[in-house]
Amino acid sequence: MNKAFYLETFGCQMNVVDSERIVDLLEGIGYAQVDAAEKADLVLLNTCSVRDKAERKVYGHLGRFKPIKDQRPELIIGVGGCVAQQEGEKMLEKISYLDLVFGTHNVHRLPELVLQVEEKRQRGSATEFLDRETRLNLFPQRSVRDNVTRFVTIMQGCDNFCSYCIVPHVRGREVSRPSAEIISEIESLVQQGVREVTLLGQNVNSYGIKDENELSFAELLRQVDAIQGLHRLRFATSHPKDMTDELIDCFGELDKLCAHIHLPVQSGSDRILEIMNRGYSSADYLRKVARLKAGDPRPGRAGRLC
């Protein structure tokens, strides 16, 4: 009989994608997903640290599972995601009933950590940051389960260091996946019935800028738009300072690109934007929005982004 796992996911789309990987990895070692911790042999929280006091909330949340562990000491409890990355092994010291901790670069090590607890009752953590090459080799295909829409990660991490944000510290520096690999993943998803993809990254607009041989984000969008059988294309999330004219023009050029953009303003005050280290002014932001609204020259399509 299959062993059962229960998984709760908090936070952004990056964690949603990581949780999809977690499901695949656990199924690979004989676990099936269930909808309640009481039915599970393994309970995992995939955590987010963006909100204030996030760690405290995770510790509070884990407390819900303690009575189950008291009744069934063989229950395995684990924490992944950004709080796990931030807190590391400390979590094992603080919570006696926690068995494993895995960070944002170590989702692939989850089966090994689970088997270690199962076979040797040995608690473990994996929170080291990986180098660029290793990270680029760790973008496995995920199963498609009757999905018509899918997130496709095109980059990880962030180099912007906005003064209020923890992401560069818990997700690492920005790394872009090779475009050929992204195209091939989307072609394969389309063959399996997916009709809409959302290209995902902390700041997709800066896709490829660290690699002179790589496509720009606008060029990548054009190549994805040309994939036969794909109906809709979206992306998230964008940084206003990297929103180029070439990218804005894509909304006028590409039929599959939906009239939808997430462009965080953060503040209307230039003083606050500077303190936030955002790299643009309120006037820059408004100019880009005006350009986006005016951006589709084709008859009947003006105002797609109003």
User: ∠ CA(158), CA(186), CA(243), 5° rounding?
Assistant: 40
- DSSP state letters, 161-210: --TT--HHHHH-S-EEPPHHHHHHHHHHHHHTT--EEEEE-TTGGGTTTT
> By CB under 6 A, which span of 14-22, 162-170, 218-226, 245-253 interacts with ligand SF4?
162-170
If one asks whether residue 162 binds ligand SF4 (CB under 6 A), the answer comes out as: yes
If one asks whether residue 160 binds ligand SF4 (CB under 6 A), the answer comes out as: yes
3, 31 Cβ separation under 8 angstroms? yes
C-alpha to C-alpha distance for 132 and 192, rounded to whole angstroms? 30
- The nearer residue to ligand SF4, 25 or 154, going by C-beta atoms, is 154
If one asks whether residue 239 binds ligand SF4 (CB under 6 A), the answer comes out as: yes
Tell me the CB-side half-sphere exposure of residue 3, using CA atoms within 13 A: 17
Return the structure tokens found at 231: 């109906």
If one asks whether residue 158 binds ligand SF4 (CB under 6 A), the answer comes out as: yes
If one asks whether residue 50 binds ligand SF4 (CB under 6 A), the answer comes out as: no
If one asks whether residue 14 binds ligand SF4 (CB under 6 A), the answer comes out as: no
- The nearer residue to ligand SF4, 142 or 239, going by C-beta atoms, is 239
Between the alpha carbon of residue 123 and those of residues 116, 117, 119, the distances in Å are 7, 6, 11
If one asks whether residue 243 binds ligand SF4 (CB under 6 A), the answer comes out as: no
If one asks whether residue 175 binds ligand SF4 (CB under 6 A), the answer comes out as: no
- The nearer residue to ligand SF4, 155 or 292, going by C-beta atoms, is 155
If one asks whether residue 155 binds ligand SF4 (CB under 6 A), the answer comes out as: no
If one asks whether residue 250 binds ligand SF4 (CB under 6 A), the answer comes out as: no
> By CB under 6 A, which span of 16-24, 37-45, 127-135, 161-169 interacts with ligand SF4?
161-169
Please state the closest distance from residue 158 (CB atom) to ligand SF4, in A: 3
Among 85, 127, 203, 205, binds ligand SF4 (CB under 6 A): 203
What are the two backbone dihedrals, phi and then psi, of residue 289, each rounded to the nearest 5 degrees? -65, -40
Q: Name the strand (E) or helix (H) holding 271.
A: helix 270-275
Number of residues that bind ligand SF4 (CB under 6 A): 10
> By CB under 6 A, which span of 18-26, 157-165, 181-189, 227-235 interacts with ligand SF4?
157-165
If one asks whether residue 172 binds ligand SF4 (CB under 6 A), the answer comes out as: no
C-alpha to C-alpha distance for 102 and 255, rounded to whole angstroms? 41
Tell me the CB-side half-sphere exposure of residue 94, using CA atoms within 13 A: 15
For 206-261, where are the alpha helices, taking DSSP H only?
A: 217-225, 245-253
If one asks whether residue 170 binds ligand SF4 (CB under 6 A), the answer comes out as: no
End-to-end CA distance of the chain: 54
Is 134 in a helix, a strand, or coil? helix
If one asks whether residue 165 binds ligand SF4 (CB under 6 A), the answer comes out as: yes
If one asks whether residue 32 binds ligand SF4 (CB under 6 A), the answer comes out as: no
C-alpha to C-alpha distance for 185 and 140, rounded to whole angstroms? 10
Among 161, 188, 275, 297, binds ligand SF4 (CB under 6 A): 161
> By CB under 6 A, which span of 6-14, 51-59, 138-146, 158-166 interacts with ligand SF4?
158-166
What are the two backbone dihedrals, phi and then psi, of residue 59, each rounded to the nearest 5 degrees? -60, -40
Please state the closest distance from residue 18 (CB atom) to ligand SF4, in A: 16
Residue numbers of the site for ligand SF4 (CB under 6 A)? 158, 160-162, 165, 167-168, 202-203, 239
